[in-house]
Structure formats: structure tokens, C-alpha cells
Structure 1
């Protein structure tokens, strides 16, 4: 099912809805960072339990001929809907997924994909950069948001499962969410 989920035909989106059993943001003193990040559909300050969630992944061909997948994630908290968007392409030479986070993108991260022995997808972040209008600046390791994503499919319950953790060595947790979702018919 994960192979099917990631085999995205061009211009035919994967759409799913579900529930995040738990969402935790970072420390309260980081609110100014979250305020800027939320405006660019990246990270956000809210935390909660049993938060309705939707995702839309759309593959398109860029003018360069490269394929890009747009990730649009929405978290529907009681008083506000928050978004976590990204644009991803593949770098076949370096064998990484290039992940531009937010709309517009303020951060970039290499993503390394592996498959666990039980068939779950494990994604870890690599090199990260800060995106400015005309330049990308390396983020020092001590300031990086280290990402671990584990995605699977529960055959008995017929749901996709997801656990995302973004952690910084100095600041602690930046974001964590865990839940499940099912594909919707178009």
C-alpha cells in the first residue's frame, strides 16, 4: 500500500483524511519562531489530541522536466486550521529527496528514505539550508531540525499510519505528530 501511495500519477492527487492522535509543538518561548513559520505554512504553535487531518500530494512536471510532488497537510484544530506544506523532488546523483519546506519555502532539507524489515518507510533528514530570496545558506548542525518520519500501513484496519518527530539538539522538540489516515476517492 505504501508503494501504491507513493506511485503518484502526474496531476492525479493522492487525497486522504484522518486523525492525529497527538500533536506537540515546542516550548512556549519559541512562539515568535512559530508565528513566522505558520505564516509560511510550515510549523505552528498549537498542540492537541484527536485533531482532524487531511493530506493532498500532487505530482507535476516542472518546466525543467523534473518531477515535483507538492505536499499539502492541514491540521484542523478547534479554533484554527494550520498547514504544513512542502515541495519535493529527487536528486538521482546524490540519491536524496530534496525537500523545500513551507509556502514560500524558508527551509530546505535532504531526505534519506529506507524501508524497515517490517515494510515501514523510514525517512531521516540530512543537510539543511536556510532559504533567502537569492541564496541558500547552510544551517549549522546545532540549529538543524532533525527529522524522523515513520510511515506504514495497518493491513487489519486498512489505514495509513504516520509518526513525525522534529527535534533540535539545543531547543528540544520542535514538532511531533502521530496519527492515521485513509485515502479518499476523487
Structure 2
């Protein structure tokens, strides 16, 4: 059983502020606003922009990605100048844990692809990111703030949930997701750079680009397009 007692109803903080603590104030002011929305904010975030590069950069690997038992996460497409949108919904999961569900839509020339996840406060100072439509790939999320006030996120440990099975991925099969996000004052946009790196292969997934972002009123109920096919409680 999960022994973590979630904060009481009305908890005002975002999951990122909860984990970063005093370091949250070192983020660029625009990033503080971006990551400050909690469940009581009455808003969700919406952004649109263009990824300079997005997808799997290794042609030989792309035909294998559909075999990975995690849908709406890693996809066998790659391109440049890819328009995209993102929606961020702060909420609680079915077990009362503070969470943020993100739905990213990549508009490739031949089809749209969706990358969705729910990041959840699963313990004091602990974030777990559940990826895919079934939220069956879980990674630990480690946060840090750079000297420039950028937010860095690493996910060095992953496990796959297949029915009742919990399968920690061994070092040779796992990958480290490295994300850096910041605000570009020159363009008035947010920048994000994401690399998923596998030790033997190198970079296997990437998205890198800029986007505008705004917060919009919201009633706190996840829309149908953001509700996962199933929720995952295990960490």
C-alpha cells in the first residue's frame, strides 16, 4: 500500500514547487508562473509552437517502436519544422495524489501523433511520471535548476507495468530522458529541449522547439481527450 498521505484538500502548491522547495524561486519568473499552477488554480495551460526537430532520429529503429507495449508515447516518425500543441491540466489522480496531466499533439505531415503522460507527487519530494495512454511506463523524475534559472528534468530509472507485472528495466534496456525548459526573452516564447538517450544506441527520441503559452479558465474536470485509458497507482 502507498504510505504517502497526500496534502489536504485546498493544497495550493504545484507539484514542482513542492519538490523544488526554495530552489523554485531560482527559476526564471516566467517559468515560475508556468510551473506554479496547482489543482486549486482554476486554470489549465495551453501552448502552441513548432518543434525544430521531433521524433526518432534513427531510421533503423523506427519500425521497431510500434512493438513497444506503450501507446501514445514514443512513435516511429521524425521530422523538422513540426507544429505542435500542449495542454497541461493540474488535478488529483483517483487516489488523491497531486498530479499534472499533459497532452502533446505533434502535427506531422502525414498524421498527428500524441504524447501523453501524468506526473504525480508519489511521496515527499518524489515525482513519478506515468507515460502512455495506459500510463504503464513509469519513470522517476529528478528536478534541478540551472544557474540561468532553467528547469532540468531527468528520468534515470524506469519500470514497465504489464498487467500485474512490475518490470524494472535493466541498464542495457533503459533510457535516460533529459529535459531542459526555459523562457527566451528575445522571442517571448518558451523553449524546451528533450532527449531520450539509450546507453548503447545514443539518442532514440527527441523534441526541441519553442512555443507560446497561456493559462485559461477551467472547471477542474479532465476532458475526455486527457483521461488515460487506465490510471496506475504503483510506483
Q: Verify same fold: TM over 0.5.
A: yes
The answer to which structure has the higher strand fraction is: 1
Q: 1:75: Cα distance to partner?
A: 0.5
- Cα distance in 2, alignment partners of residues 180 and 38 from structure 1: 30
1:78-115 Cα distance to aligned partner (Å, 9 max, x none)? 1110111111111333x231001111123110010000
Gaps of 5+ in 1: none
Contact 2:138-2:158 within 8 A present in 1 as well:
yes
Contact 1:37-1:44 within 8 A present in 2 as well:
no
What are the residue-to-residue correspondences of 1:98-113 with 2, within 5 Å?
98-113=128-143
- Cα distance in 1, alignment partners of residues 102 and 140 from structure 2: 15
Gaps of 5+ in 2: 1-29, 217-235
- Secondary structure of the 2:64 match is helix
1:78 maps to which of 109, 115, 132? 109
1:91 maps to which of 118, 122, 138? 122
TM-score, scaled to structure 1: 0.91
The aligned residue for residue 193 of structure 2 is: 163
User: Is 1:34 aligned with 2:65?
Assistant: yes
Q: Cα distance 1:39–1:141, how it changes in 2: closer, same or farther (>3 A)? A: closer
Q: How many corresponding residue pairs? A: 185
What are the residue-to-residue correspondences of 1:1-186 with 2, within 5 Å?
1-10=30-39, 12-37=43-68, 40-93=71-124, 95-184=125-214, 186=216
